[in-house]
Structure 1
């Protein structure tokens, strides 16, 4: 099924759920079987507002199919807190002589986990072709403009030299932008090898603390039992650096109080990409890395386009950082997802183990 799906028996107890439902609700099917989805045993892990009982009762009383939008799933986490995910729930009778209900959950992009799928892959491929053209067509004349401005500045009076210096500075800024765009043109496959994810993340954390992360709390929360990941370590350093840098900048824009970035790792054996001709059983992505910050969140109008090139939520942003992240993650056969709301933004990257 392309959506999270749950089967309830005639008494409203969980009889089955698919992998997407486990990921969306942050609960495992094995630990939930036989429990009422809105019973007391589930309250610490899941609360549904408004309750689904009325919807389930109407299906049980003979309605073929019903749906309700704006359902809020309050989902518990390991720290004792919870996150909210908004969805539309479709309910219909289960194909069983004993009765029951099938629930299909259609997450709203702005309120729940937003996954990087075919649209992001297509955007990354478009950016690759665009980058080759831009780098070739702009870099050469730009070098001439910068050189001419430097020569002109040498012959100007000191009070007029600022304008020439401005041309040189802006030309350098454009060159830096082109360097970022040009990285999309690298179509070589990642050099995959077994690596300890925590070695990569510690390299990122130390670099951040010595540079752009000054004044921000960067807290590691690692699962030491993780097996090695199958990654290109240098490319993944770039991915995590981009995400941590974005988080640090978002926190600074939110106010003067020092914010917190949490780098979390965990193992989730249920997460698997959909089957494909190359991998009929699907691709297992059990190694999870989450970059979480307590900043203001990503603006609603752009949240569904954040992985596309030139989409940015900050002034003077290039909009290339997350597009490059999307490209690298896609090249790894991995997955990136986003959950954002004021006070909590999480990027989760799911990777294969070696």
Structure 2
């Protein structure tokens, strides 16, 4: 499935042919979109961005959070003796200092401390949890559709971090659809793609990433000029956005040895996550 945008729209692909033992003379043909490797190459150029944010966060934690606590404390002391008009200003100071502290805390999530433990995880349980949380809050007005591969192998990952990945992607999808629309749809899909092998940073040989997880929505889409920078920190089109959500998603996916890509058209945007499957340790 090349997901052609419209009739007559061609795409460059690589063709892989493998013979089958039975029946005699049969072959398996796989078409892999060439642009996939180009998108992954683009993503690799941004992998250092998360490390830069981590270093920045450690500086901000000391140079900004400590003074902010003093500013907030002083504002609270002034509030006790302030007039009603001035009290509104002291509350504004407290609210803004709290907002800056939360921003620094979000950046601290990029810290390259000890990696989280990974285990055998059922991705369908993760996606069902994300759907339940979303429908109870920001996506209560959106219809969800699931298209799962029932025989999909487990993924090697950290369950909490996987939830964080897909909760961010579903939240972005819901925001792209908007609160006023009543025809919003989000589709969650899983599939096994045995032919996908990619050269991952730190690996000597191409790594198999056969597990494909997709979040698809019928929202407004991503502007073409924004796609190459989608996973860069502080890149956002939201008025109140921080631009850290997708950057954090890309870092967690990368930490899991996977990759993420985005294909976007009006009313059809797909975030595709490729990851390695769980393999029991050999005795």
Q: TM-score range by the shorter chain?
A: 0.7 to 0.9
State the alpha-carbon separation in 2 of the partners of residues 213 and 264 from structure 1. Answer: 17
- 1:321 paired to 2:237: no
Q: 1:315 to 1:113 in 2, by over 3 A?
A: farther
State the alpha-carbon separation in 2 of the partners of residues 224 and 183 from structure 1. Answer: 33
Q: 1:267 aligned to 192, 195, 209, which one?
A: 192
Give the TM-score of the pair, scaled to structure 1. Answer: 0.67
The structure number with the bigger radius of gyration is: 1
- 1:165 paired to 2:91: yes
Q: SS of the residue aligned with 2:76?
A: helix
Question: What's 2:113 paired with?
Answer: 187
Question: What's 1:117 paired with?
Answer: 43
Question: What's 1:235 paired with?
Answer: 161
Q: 1:303 aligned to 227, 234, 239, which one?
A: 227
Give the TM-score of the pair, scaled to structure 2. Answer: 0.83
Question: What's 1:220 paired with?
Answer: 146
Q: SS of the residue aligned with 1:208?
A: helix
Tell me how far 1:217 sits from its aligned partner. 1.6
Equivalent residues of 1:298, 1:313 under 8 A apart: no
Question: What's 1:312 paired with?
Answer: 236
The C-alpha deviation readout for 1:161-181, integer Å capped at 9, x for no partner, is 111111111111111111110
The C-alpha deviation readout for 1:180-230, integer Å capped at 9, x for no partner, is 101111432231211111111111111111122121222222111101111
Aligned residues: 259
Q: How does 1:57-68 map to 2 (within 5 A)?
A: none
State the alpha-carbon separation in 2 of the partners of residues 159 and 131 from structure 1. Answer: 35
Q: SS of the residue aligned with 1:337?
A: strand
Q: 1:276 to 1:168 in 2, by over 3 A?
A: closer
Equivalent residues of 1:242, 1:325 under 8 A apart: yes
State the alpha-carbon separation in 2 of the partners of residues 250 and 154 from structure 1. Answer: 43
Q: SS of the residue aligned with 2:216?
A: strand
Tell me how far 1:160 sits from its aligned partner. 2.7
Equivalent residues of 2:51, 2:111 under 8 A apart: no
Question: What's 2:273 paired with?
Answer: 349
Question: What's 2:174 paired with?
Answer: 248
Q: How does 1:4-23 map to 2 (within 5 A)?
A: none
CA RMSD of aligned residues (A): 2.6
